[in-house]
Amino acid sequence: MSSGVGQLDVARVRGLFPGLSDGLLHADGPGGALVPESVVRAVSQAMRVPIANRGGVFAASARAEQLVSGARSAVADLAGGAPSGVVLGANMTSLTYAVARALGKHWRRGDEIVVSRLDHDANIRPWLQIADELGMVVKWAEVDIETGELPDWQYDELLTDRTRLVAVTAASNAIGTCPDVAAIAMRAHRVGALVYVDAAHAAPHMPLDVAELEADFLAVSAYKWCGPHVGALVARPELLDELRPDKLVPAPDRVPDRFEQGTPPFELYAGVAASVDHLAGLCPDATGTRRERLTASMAAVSSYEETLFDRLDGALRSMAHVQVLGSPRHRMPTLSFTVSRMRPRQVTRELARRGVCAWDGDFYSRELFDAIGVNETGGAVRLGLLHYNTLEEVDHLIDHVSDLR
């Protein structure tokens, strides 16, 4: 592609990833992105100097404070939030469980929660389990099985003055669907409900803005955007201040620290900040604050990936032996498909033999794949692109899947 702001120099981008030296075609982005050298170096350098726990008056403790504040600031820039509203944790699932239990202390029998069939189980099961404990009512937003869409109009019928929370994904990690989160959140807020958005799969592919999405809670995972295995939750500090999560008595009670249990992996927090800097630097001509550079770079990423994905999606849909699941209008560069007379595991084994990394299964989208009806035969095969993939790789993917007939 041509140079300039808003364009990706993909050859330069690929040079940032030592993992690409294995010669394989990595189409497994939704399961975790490759890590650039800058992130590897940041984690390594953090481990080369003394790091103590937080709260001390000596240099090693000060380094820990800097790593925590650096990671919070980076995630805040990525999501358009405030550093004081960023909770860091082991992963998105653990953070969601913690928030569910904290919110549950304010809920009562007969209160209602709305979840969706489109979501990853990490944004379903914690809510179902707390609802079961408290005797709450669970309502389901359904997916249009033909298109893979999650219609926002159905929330008019699902929401009542007893609705306490709506959980919804910003992008499906299985079929790529991007629901109209802002439209859903607007309806939820009219009845006084909170909105918990799983943005883990959206974060590597598009600019995020927690305010534009009208999300009260926004959950992300750094390993999805080329970072280490660290999760983060973004919320308004004043909202977090209303919640009392389970914690040890001596642990800090201030926000957001009260949500972070135990001693954290400080060295990985260095990788979180470096991974956000990586995204902000994908368009080297972009200028301004890190937030401004992130917005420009992620817009370029979205445009580039859309071009690749349109080619892949169109080619697979033209193959008689392939069935692509859903056809959403707004989507991330991710799709799942089945192949006639082959189980998904057979397909991924054959692709692996040809040097292609791809996943099979339900991808923790159990409710969605149950509704579509593919779980009984092993789920589906998933392909997902990221900003280091190329048009040449897409053409190879098309050829390899075509050969499966």
pLDDT at res. 341: 96
Q: Does residue 217 lie in a domain region?
A: yes
Contact criterion met (CB below 8 Å) for 389 and 26: yes
Strands (E), 270-363: 322-324, 334-339, 356-357, 359-361
Domain count, the chain: 2
**What pLDDT, in 10s, does the model give residues 16-67?**
999 999 999 999 999 999 999 999 999 999 999 999 999 999 999 999 999 9
Rounded to whole angstroms, how far apart are CA atoms 321 and 401?
Answer: 9
Question: Look-up: residue for tokens 């980076």?
Answer: 74
Whether 236 and 173 map to the same domain: the answer is yes
pLDDT at res. 75: 99
Cα–Cα–Cα angle for 131, 197, 247, rounded to 5 degrees: 60
pLDDT at res. 377: 96
Q: Does residue 179 lie in a domain region?
A: yes
pLDDT at res. 1: 34
Question: Residue 389 corresponds to which tokens in the numbers above?
Answer: 């993939």
End-to-end CA distance of the chain: 33
Whether 62 and 19 map to the same domain: the answer is no
Q: Following DSSP, what letter does each residue of 82-145 receive, concatenated?
A: -GGGEEEES-HHHHHHHHHHHHHTT--TT-EEEEETTS-GGGTHHHHHHHHHHT-EEEEEPP-T
Q: Does residue 3 lie in a domain region?
A: no
Question: Look-up: residue for tokens 């789920």?
Answer: 379
Whether 211 and 329 map to the same domain: the answer is no
Q: In Å, how far from its chain's centre is CA 174? A: 12
Q: Which CATH number characterizes residue 63's domain?
A: 3.40.640.10
Q: Does residue 295 lie in a domain region?
A: yes
128-148 burial code (b ≥16 CB/10 A, e <16): bebbeeeebeebebebeeeeb
Whether 340 and 245 map to the same domain: the answer is no
Pick from 257, 278, 299: which residue ends a domain? Answer: 278
Task: Domain of residue 315: give its range.
Answer: 10-35+291-403
Which amino acid belongs to residue 264?
Answer: P
Residues 6+ apart with CB under 8 A from 157: none
pLDDT at res. 332: 98
The single-letter DSSP state of residue 288 is S
277-312 burial code (b ≥16 CB/10 A, e <16): bbbbbbbeebeeebbebbbbbbbbbeebbeebbeeb
pLDDT at res. 7: 86
Question: Residue 236 corresponds to which tokens in the numbers above?
Answer: 């308004």
Rounded to whole angstroms, how far apart are CA atoms 177 and 174?
Answer: 8
Strand 334-339 with 137-141, pairing: unpaired
Pick from 232, 250, 278: which residue ends a domain? Answer: 278
Q: Does residue 4 lie in a domain region?
A: no
**What pLDDT, in 10s, does the model give residues 344-380?**
999 999 999 999 999 999 999 999 999 999 999 999 9
Q: Does residue 2 lie in a domain region?
A: no
How far lies 249's CA from each of 92, 94, 226, 253, in Å? 24, 20, 35, 9
Using 50 as the pLDDT threshold, list the residues of the chain that sit under it.
1-5
Alpha-helix residue ranges (DSSP H) falling in 218-283:
237-241, 266-280
pLDDT at res. 4: 42
Model's pTM, two decimal places? Answer: 0.97
pLDDT at res. 16: 98
